[in-house]
Structure 1
């Protein structure tokens, strides 16, 4: 079933209706999908609540839908994962965002580390990139039927990450020089983990000083195995392992 997101204030439960007024969604529903009055769609309020709705009226400015059923989305994991991703070159960030949203990441924050090749010229350039990445996150969330739209945060310098460490139950940093700690071992020794941060380095990896600074501030260095993974692979692998051990990828 086709799925769409609306803002919470577009849902009028007391009147049993939902209004879709996004120009993009209006075009997609009426021109691309060619849906009409009487057709059913699925609508999410971006806050983990889903509605089965029936289109009752279509005009140029909005689509009115009748609420058939309300239910809690079943697609959000019990663990909150925030990915701190060093900005890679080319369009690799597009793939990173798309696939990590599919796996279940709640938020992605681009970080600037010493070996990042990409240099952001000014605030306007940064805002344009983040806006574009947010749109990719939105499309991925819609495709995989997420109950929320994961947020793409503003860019952060790597030395400033330690300011948010206290907000997490655990911070993990995959590092090629780490030989002893695997994620499974680290997770087994921790109970009640609900919020995890993952810090991923750029194409050239983190410097030794960067890793030492993060670890001394509370991050846990982990190995992803004997092979060196690309930056666009490392975050997805780390997230997948965590979602298996702590989330919902492993089933019940």
Structure 2
């Protein structure tokens, strides 16, 4: 069974034999909720590619110490995938973030699309963004990711268009598109961008703007997926055709 992972602020300059202390909520959950004990082995990650394997040498209510036995540096997975996720209603936003993190997305961009039902403003926006970040953090630990995803601030349509223009390959999921996702040529490296629209669908203006900036409108199949699951289906289809998934 894969060892459990805990996130630490940094593993810079840590070597085998060094003690690393984990504190705060991260440690409280491990010790009080998960009942971590001295002698257990686990993984420590900094979310930036470095992972330490070690053994718990001491515990307290809000802290535990790990003696490191091994350090490994993982290269960032390539191609790197960014998903622009239109704001779903209810808890479907957290579901989208969770599954996108599990599948290996590098960046998640919440987007206020024209037909988004959910609205992020003021204090609500700060709380919702924090919830997305927390969801990504926990999902990354569950998935044992060495590189944890970044959840960017809420983007405007113009900012999404700029992201499309900067990507090596950008796709917009659209049920009326004529080109299938499987027909796209993909680079072995570079940056891929996937734009997922809201429950109400994309407007013609949004699609036109993204296409002007180099994106390609594509369809996944004949089925119409929910906004919270369309992104993970598209990313899985893309990654299956890259070296990341053994092709």
For normalisation by structure 2, the TM-score amounts to 0.91
Which residue does the alignment assign to 2:88? 88
Equivalent residues, number: 245
Partner Cα distance (2:112, 2:216) in 1: 20
Partner Cα distance (2:189, 2:14) in 1: 36
SS at match of 2:36: coil
SS at match of 1:245: coil
SS at match of 1:226: coil
The answer to whether the 8 Å contact 2:4/2:142 transfers is no
Which residue does the alignment assign to 1:165? 164
Partner Cα distance (2:19, 2:115) in 1: 51
How far does residue 226 in structure 1 lie from its aligned partner after superposition?
1.7
Partner Cα distance (1:207, 1:126) in 2: 23
Which residue does the alignment assign to 1:119? 119
Gapped regions of structure 1 (runs ≥ 5): none
Q: 1:201 aligns with which of 175, 193, 197?
A: 197
SS at match of 2:27: helix
Partner Cα distance (1:15, 1:166) in 2: 47
Q: 2:210 aligns with which of 210, 214, 218?
A: 214
Which residue does the alignment assign to 1:68? 69
SS at match of 1:248: helix
Q: 2:15 aligns with which of 13, 16, 22?
A: 13
Partner Cα distance (2:31, 2:18) in 1: 22
Matched, 1:34 2:30: no
The answer to whether the 8 Å contact 1:10/1:20 transfers is no
- 1:160-208 deviation per Cα after TM superposition (whole angstroms, max 9, x unaligned): 22223343111110111211x2222112xx4444210111110011011
Q: 1:35 to 1:118 in 2, by over 3 A?
A: closer
- 1:16-39 deviation per Cα after TM superposition (whole angstroms, max 9, x unaligned): 121211x22222232233333222
